[in-house]
């Protein structure tokens, strides 16, 4: 993953939500104990739909609630979340759960359900809360997305703060068995990289098993990677996925829906479930389309058919509807989006995508940079100035490390409309660059390229190299709130898992052979036609790569004690 872009593409943002209908029913009663607003928005396909509801309590505080309505047609709820649903004929009753029943005056909560229907799918015209009608005639449908109300206190600003992370016992066992006991207790993300991963591939733990294990560990948060978009990884081959470019329907209903249904189980309501949304996809639309030197036909296809945008919006909608679930969108890394030509357009694309989601920008808790990449957290001996920008390594970028990029990109995102509370994550799993070759001081050379090359801690041949990097080490251990605006340093790529095979290996995972993982390849436009810096003898992406794991331990920075 991770292509280095040379130029920006014109981004054609064509996609908006399919069949989004939004109505609002409101009534305020002067002295009533119960007064309420209910929002009801629908995302539908031919014979089914997902509805998201928001309740705002405008009356006296309640300690539990019952929401009721009658369907207009033959709609039938198949599964609901954030409430106990029952349906009798057209009548639906939803009772609050232990954690979301208490609603102070002006407090809000959200819930939702999946349902089937045939014929028309008109919205209910009236709702009651604890027996009192929140009625009135439906307001005029509005094209402007209404933010889903978030109950104060139930959705943390920084889900990493003040709690311990879930340790994936399967990764930990591999790490421990391969000499990594010293780091096997670190929280790493679980990659839901195909539909079968939801239930567990070949006897491995599925999503429920991981969430149950997180509960039994007493973890306060658990991290997952949502990674199965149609036409996945359009600029590279090593992480191609199982879904073809037009498989949006499968993505939504066979991948996202079951994930959302499990994450919405009230059993997990006290666990903060953190999702990294679709590494590489939106960044690829910015940089690898429309005739740029790095463009690929696959990325053009995904740009034109809108399925990355629609898929990400669908994921945001379904996952944000669950109040203990957090969404972080992948935002590339400094040597991808750090150039002026990519930086602004990427933030604009992300903002447009989020604004097209039901809850708008509020469906995004933050962004992650450096996912599965090797860019240094900090280059202690290099400052980006007019003198250093023309160097071959920096190549006119404004940033030379992830700390500076993450902070600047966050500011840009906020000025493009994201909430000022968004936080950044930095994947520090493999960006340590320690060991004997790490420079300990700035070079004294007066030649700018020599100066940069002798001073930089990132030892890659080129910052566009991304596969199984020779010389890399573990980076900062996962840390909550390490700096202003940074929600956490995280280990999203589990150290020890390959980025891609160094030779072609037949497989049934949809994985291709990307020559950026071949140490003998001379590179392409996305890495300035440089050597790949990849280690030899690598297995398929996601598979255990022992030699790499040992190198990561040896070159860890900070060192592993």
CB nearer to ligand BGC: pick between 128 and 239: 239
CB of 183 to ligand BGC, least distance (A): 16
Residue of 43, 186, 469, 541 interacting with ligand BGC (CB under 6 A): 541
Tokens standing for residue 350:
């992300």
Residue of 53, 175, 542, 549 interacting with ligand BGC (CB under 6 A): 542
The count of other CB atoms within 10 Å of the CB of residue 340 is 11
Sign of the C-alpha dihedral computed for residues 531, 535, 539 and 542 taken in this order: negative
CB nearer to ligand BGC: pick between 210 and 320: 210
DSSP structure class, residue 498: -
CB nearer to ligand BGC: pick between 193 and 257: 193
CB nearer to ligand BGC: pick between 310 and 493: 493
For position 327 contacting ligand BGC by CB under 6 A, the verdict is no
CA separation (Å) from 187 to 157, 181, 214, 472?
A: 20, 13, 11, 20
User: Which residues 206-245 are close enough to bind ligand BGC by CB under 6 A?
Assistant: 239
How far is residue 523 CA from its own chain's centroid? 28
Determine contact, residues 221/488, Cβ cutoff 8 Å. Answer: no
User: Which residues 297-326 are close enough to bind ligand BGC by CB under 6 A?
Assistant: none
CB of 293 to ligand BGC, least distance (A): 24
User: Which residues 366-425 are close enough to bind ligand BGC by CB under 6 A?
Assistant: 372
Buried residues in 385-394 as b, exposed as e (16+ CB within 10 A): eeebeebebb
- φ, ψ dihedrals at 127, nearest 5°: -130, 150
Longest dimension (CA), the chain: 81
Tokens standing for residue 247:
């498989």
CB nearer to ligand BGC: pick between 49 and 191: 191
For position 494 contacting ligand BGC by CB under 6 A, the verdict is yes
Site string for ligand BGC, 173-212 (x = CB under 6 A): ------------------x-x-------------------
CB nearer to ligand BGC: pick between 275 and 541: 541
Whole-number CA gyration radius for the chain: 24
For 444, counting Cβ atoms within 10 Å of its Cβ (0-12 exposed, 13-18 middle, 19+ buried), the class is exposed
CB of 490 to ligand BGC, least distance (A): 13
CB of 2 to ligand BGC, least distance (A): 10
For position 435 contacting ligand BGC by CB under 6 A, the verdict is no
Residue of 252, 465, 499, 514 interacting with ligand BGC (CB under 6 A): 499
Q: Which residue has the tokens 């999203």?
A: 492
> Beta partners for 277?
226, 329
Torsion angle of the four alpha carbons 380, 381, 382, 388, in this order, in degrees rounded to the nearest 10: 180
**Nearest-CA neighbor of 368 among 404, 402, 393?**
402
CB of 553 to ligand BGC, least distance (A): 17
Determine contact, residues 215/271, Cβ cutoff 8 Å. Answer: yes
- φ, ψ dihedrals at 44, nearest 5°: -125, 155
The pairing of strands 366-369 and 325-330 is parallel
Length of the chain equals 561
CB of 230 to ligand BGC, least distance (A): 15
CB nearer to ligand BGC: pick between 365 and 499: 499
Question: Whose CB is nearest to ligand BGC?
Answer: 542
Residue of 427, 497, 514, 518 interacting with ligand BGC (CB under 6 A): 497
Q: Which part of the chain contacts ligand BGC (CB under 6 A), choosing from 204-212, 269-277, 302-310, 491-499?
A: 491-499
For 144, counting Cβ atoms within 10 Å of its Cβ (0-12 exposed, 13-18 middle, 19+ buried), the class is exposed
CB nearer to ligand BGC: pick between 413 and 535: 535
Angular region, 166: left φ>0, alpha ψ -120 to 50, beta rest: beta
Q: Write out the catalytic residue numbers.
A: 280, 499
CB of 464 to ligand BGC, least distance (A): 17
**Nearest-CA neighbor of 385 among 376, 377, 394?**
394
Please tell me the count of residues contacting ligand BGC according to CB under 6 A: 10
CB of 175 to ligand BGC, least distance (A): 13
Determine contact, residues 357/351, Cβ cutoff 8 Å. Answer: no
Q: How far apart are CA 226 and CA 110, in angstroms?
A: 22
Buried residues in 243-265 as b, exposed as e (16+ CB within 10 A): bebebbebbbeebbbbbbbbbbe
CB nearer to ligand BGC: pick between 80 and 241: 241
CB of 339 to ligand BGC, least distance (A): 24
Q: How far apart are CA 247 and CA 264, in angstroms?
A: 24
- E strand intervals along 379-463: 423-427
3-state class of 202 per DSSP?
helix
CB of 493 to ligand BGC, least distance (A): 6
Q: Which part of the chain contacts ligand BGC (CB under 6 A), choosing from 84-92, 102-110, 475-483, 489-497?
A: 489-497
CB nearer to ligand BGC: pick between 163 and 245: 245
Residues that bind ligand BGC (CB under 6 A): 191, 193, 239, 372, 493-494, 497, 499, 541-542
């Amino acid at each position: 993953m991770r292509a280095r872009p040379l130029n920006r593409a014109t981004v054609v943002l064509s996609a908006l939500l399919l069949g989004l209908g939004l109505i609002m029913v409101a009534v305020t009663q002067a002295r009533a104990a119960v007064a309420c607003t209910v929002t009801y928005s629908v995302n539908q396909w031919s014979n089914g739909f997902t509805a998201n509801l928001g309740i705002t309590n405008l009356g006296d505080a309640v300690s539990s609630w019952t929401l009721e309505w009658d369907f207009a047609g033959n709609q039938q709820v198949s599964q609901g979340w954030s409430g106990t649903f029952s349906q009798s004929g057209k009548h639906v009753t939803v009772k609050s759960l232990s954690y979301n029943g208490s609603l102070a005056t002006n407090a809000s909560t959200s819930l939702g359900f999946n349902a089937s229907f045939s014929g028309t799918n008109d919205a209910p015209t009236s709702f009651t809360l604890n027996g009192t009608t929140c009625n009135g005639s439906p307001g005029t449908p509005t094209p402007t997305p209404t933010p889903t109300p978030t109950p104060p206190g139930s959705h943390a600003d920084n889900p990493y703060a003040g709690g311990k992370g879930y340790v994936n016992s399967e990764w930990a066992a591999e790490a421990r068995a391969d000499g990594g006991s010293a780091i096997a207790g670190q929280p790493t993300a679980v990659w839901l990289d195909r539909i079968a991963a939801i239930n567990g591939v070949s006897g491995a733990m599925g999503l429920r098993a991981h969430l149950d294990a997180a509960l039994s560990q007493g973890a306060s948060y658990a991290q997952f990677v949502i990674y199965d978009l149609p036409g996945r990884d359009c600029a590279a081959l090593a992480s191609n996925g199982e879904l073809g470019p037009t498989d949006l329907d499968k993505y939504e209903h066979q991948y996202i829906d079951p994930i959302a249904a499990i994450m919405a189980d009230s059993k997990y309501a006290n666990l903060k479930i953190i999702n990294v949304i679709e590494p590489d996809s939106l960044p690829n639309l910015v940089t690898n389309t429309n005739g740029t030197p790095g463009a690929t036909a696959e990325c053009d296809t995904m740009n034109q058919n809108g399925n990355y945008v629609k898929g990400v919006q669908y994921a945001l909608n379904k996952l944000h509807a669950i109040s203990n679930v957090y969404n972080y969108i992948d935002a590339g890394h400094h040597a991808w989006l750090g150039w002026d030509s990519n930086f602004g357009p990427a933030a604009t694309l992300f903002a447009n995508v989020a604004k097209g989601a039901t809850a708008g920008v509020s469906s995004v808790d933050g962004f992650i940079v450096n996912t599965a990449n090797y860019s240094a957290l900090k280059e202690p001996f290099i400052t980006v100035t007019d003198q250093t920008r023309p160097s071959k390594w920096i190549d006119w970028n404004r940033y030379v490390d992830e700390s500076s990029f993450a902070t600047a990109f966050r500011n840009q995102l906020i000025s493009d409309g994201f909430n000022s509370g968004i936080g950044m994550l930095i994947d520090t799993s493999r960006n340590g660059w320690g060991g004997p070759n790490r420079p300990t001081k700035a070079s004294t050379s007066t030649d700018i390229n020599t100066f940069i090359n002798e001073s930089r801690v990132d030892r890659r041949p080129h910052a566009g190299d991304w596969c199984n990097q020779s010389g890399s080490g573990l980076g900062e251990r996962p840390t909550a709130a390490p700096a202003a605006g940074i929600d956490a340093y995280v280990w999203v790529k589990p150290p020890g898992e390959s980025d891609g095979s160094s030779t072609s290996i037949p497989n049934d995972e949809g994985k291709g052979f990307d020559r950026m993982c071949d140490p003998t390849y001379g590179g392409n436009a996305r890495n300035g036609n440089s050597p790949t810096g990849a280690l030899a003898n690598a297995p398929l992406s996601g598979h255990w790569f022992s030699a790499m794991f040992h190198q990561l331990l040896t070159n860890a920075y900070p060192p592993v004690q």
